[in-house]
Each structure stands twice: as structure tokens, then as C-alpha cells.
Amino acid sequence: MKKITILLFILSIFTISCKQEIKETQPNVNGYFSKSEDSIQNGGIKVIPITTPKGTFNVWTKRIGNNPKIKVLLLNGGPGATHEYFECFENFLPAESIEFIYYDQLGCGNSDNPNDTIIWDLSRYVEEVEQVRKALKLDNSNFYLLGHSWGGILAMEYALKYQDNMKGMIISNMMSSCPEYDKYANEVLAKQMSPEVLTELMEIEANNDFSNPRYMELLLPNFYEKHILRFSAKDWPEPVNRSFAKMNQSLYVTMQGPSEFGIAGKLENWDRTEDLKKINIPTLVIGATHDTMDPKFMEKMSTILPNGSFLLCSKGSHMAFYDDQETYFKGLISFLKK
């Protein structure tokens, strides 16, 4: 009888310990979904006035969840796409109580579109992000920037000026050098196409005939489905199609240029590789084997960054958060919760 009593006591201690451990590791659901301080609840949306050289315009943001220690501001790519292609994050980050914030940059999605190419400028976008940060009351105890593609350029540029306001950064699928990106596109990716397809594409580009439907007919199966998102285009996720359908072509062409092989717009000579050593905050660089960006170059970036790390999505492409979700989100969540 005495042995049974001791055994029951041990089991009760073990059970209490397990319950405490489960309680400690489970997300604080009530806190994560707590209401905002606003008198009227509007789904976490905050419209922020942005001061620019051409006047004041509004940008749209939407907060998902609440975590005082981890707040991730998402910077979409393009330039000129929208926050919508990030919607898959909703299936991964809330379960880990990670707060994230959708944000349509000026000229994109739900934000104002000044339709003025003077405003399509990298340094001005840096100041826009800083105004958004202040309005959302983000600081170096909680503020992470995740920049994807063009958003990665914006994140790096922002960090070089304002890293004291940041807790960490994620550079997703973007190289720190546009000339090196251009070189990789032309010397590696283009040569993976059949000679016939490449010849026809180059003829269209040489004639500056980018509106020719044949251009996209060739790009979709031979480039997009191999390096942008590795599904058949007819199976691309709805948020991706919705975002791409709203692409601001003026912003895209001004910054990137009309060609899909490299870069020819305002960003043509942008290169911050040598300056990465000045960014001291924890930084995760995410690359993918089949990306439009050189994964080896992105791995090198992580070694230049004083507090850098690298995640390779071996099954993924430029939008690895769709075509290699398990690797992408496991690595991202691990980084954010360190």
C-alpha cells in the first residue's frame, strides 16, 4: 500500500509538471487576439498619413495579433505588388503568437497612388517606412522588418539608416547587389532556357515590345513557373494572383525596368554588399535553390552581416513561402523566437 501511495504521488507531480510545461509553451491566445485600444474595433486596420515632397498621402496597414515582443512589418516586392501575397502567413504565425503587420507601400494596393514617378524613389520609401514605424509605435524591443524581393532592398536600406530602431531583420529572396542580380539573370537563368525560347524573348526585348502577349506566353512556362513560383500558373494561389493583378506598372517599370532578365530602372546600379558589415542587428537571409536570385550570393551575404544567418529553401523559388512552406516558416519562426 505504501508503494502504491508513493507511486501515485510521483505520478501526480509528473502530471502537474507536464501541465505547467504545456501551459508555458502554448501561445497566449487571449493576449494574442486582444482588442486594440481604439474605441471602435476595425480588424486591426490603421491608415497612416505619410509626408512626402509632393504632399501628404495615406498608406494602409493591418495588424494581425498582438505580441509585445515580436512585431513583424511585412514589405512586399515588385516594386508595385500588394500585401496580399503574404496572406499565407496567417496559416503559420498566429499559431506561434507572432504578431505581423500587413502594409501596402505608397502606390500599392489599398494605399494612395500619387501616380508621380518622382515619388518612386528608394530613399523616400525609407522615410516612409520610418513614418509607419513611428505611427505603429514599434521600437527596438519588438520591431522586425521582413522584406521580400524589392522589399528586401528597402529593408536593407532602412536598416543602414535606422537599425537602432530595430530588433531584427529578414531579407527574403533578395540579393544586396542589383548588378550581381542582373549578371545572374543573364548568365545563369537565361541560359537554362531552350535556345529557341531565349532567342524569341531577346528579340521581343530588343524591339522594346514588352506589351506583346507573346512575351508573357513565353515567360510563364519558361521562367515564372521555374523561378518565381514552382507550380503550374493555373494552380497559383489566389492571393498571389490577386496581388499580381494589382501591380502598379508605373512603379514597377520606374524602379525595376520592363525586362524580367535583370534590372534596368532606378535600381540598376544599387549595391550595398560592402555596407552589410555595418548592419549589426540579427538578420536572417532566406534564399531558395530555384530562385531568380543567386542562392550562393545570398548565403555569402549572411557571412558578411556581423549577426547574420542563412536559410536555404531547397525546394523553393522566389516565392518560397508558397513552394517550400515547411522549410520557410520553420526557419522564420525559429529565428523570430530566439
pLDDT tens digits, 155-211 = 999 999 999 999 999 999 999 999 999 999 999 999 999 999 999 999 999 999 999
Active-site residue flag, 334:
no
* Those residues with Cβ within 8 angstroms of residue 262's Cβ, 6 or more apart along the chain or in another chain: 181, 182, 183, 185, 186
Instruction: Please work out, in degrees rounded to the nearest 5, the angle formed at the alpha carbon of residue 123 by the alpha carbons of 121 and 126.
Output: 110
Per-residue pLDDT, 262: 74
pLDDT band at 259 (very low <50, low <70, confident <90, very high): confident
**Of the listed 112, 302, 318, 323, which one is catalytic?**
318
Say how many Å lie between the first and final Cα of the chain, rounded: 47
Q: Is 24 exposed, middle or buried (0-12, 13-18, 19+ CB in 10 A)?
A: exposed
Tell me the C-alpha distance between 256 and 274, whole Å: 22
Per-residue pLDDT, 57: 98
Average the pLDDT over 60-77 and give the result.
98
pLDDT tens digits, 138-165 = 999 999 999 999 999 999 999 999 999 9
**Of the listed 104, 112, 182, 291, which one is catalytic?**
291
Whether residue 8 has pLDDT greater than 50: no
**Of the listed 149, 176, 177, 243, which one is catalytic?**
149
pLDDT tens digits, 295-317 = 999 999 999 999 999 999 999 99
Domain range list for the chain: 2-32, 40-338
Strand order in the sheet with 99-104: 45-52, 55-64, 99-104, 71-75, 143-148, 168-172, 283-288, 308-313
Pick the CATH number of 40-338 from 3.30.420.40, 3.40.50.1820, 2.40.50.140, 1.50.10.10: 3.40.50.1820
Active-site residue flag, 227:
no
Residue 221: HSE in the Cβ half-sphere, 13 Å Cα cutoff: 5
User: With pLDDT > 70 as the criterion, what percentage of the chain qualifies?
Assistant: 91
Per-residue pLDDT, 81: 98
Copy the grid coordinates of residue 314. Answer: 531547397
pTM exceeding the 0.85 threshold for the entire prediction:
yes
Active-site residue flag, 318:
yes
Per-residue pLDDT, 28: 56
Helices (H), the chain: 2-25, 29-32, 122-136, 150-162, 178-184, 195-206, 213-219, 238-245, 249-255, 295-304, 320-323, 325-336
* Those residues with Cβ within 8 angstroms of residue 143's Cβ, 6 or more apart along the chain or in another chain: 71, 73, 133, 165, 166, 167
pLDDT tens digits, 89-120 = 999 999 999 999 999 999 999 999 999 999 99
